[in-house]
Amino acid sequence: MQKLLLLGTKITNSVENNFDIFEDLQSMNQNNIKCLTIYGNYLKDIVNDDQEGARLLEKADYVDRSNQANKQLID
């Protein structure tokens, strides 16, 4: 039982640590497509937070399409 509790604590701490790191990265650049995609997939596949994961993946897609449109306007 003690090993299970220890493992659960480690997992919880890792999830919280990943969230803190993501928040730090977001404060530096909110529109980093790779960061949004990786963390969105992490939320969907590992944490099982489908709503937030889908929201971040949609944001990454929107930023990508916006960047492509801006690039076309410049050309």
pLDDT in 10s for each residue of the chain, 75 residues? 999 999 999 999 999 999 999 999 999 999 999 999 999 999 999 999 999 999 999 999 999 999 898 888 787
Give dist(CA 34, CA 39) in Å, integer: 8
Ramachandran region, residue 48 (left: φ > 0; alpha: ψ -120 to 50; beta: rest): left
Q: What is the pTM for the complete model shown?
A: 0.85
| Phi, psi of 32, rounded to the nearest 5 degrees | -75, 110
For position 74, what pLDDT does the model report? Answer: 82
Contact predicate 43/67, CB 8 Å: no
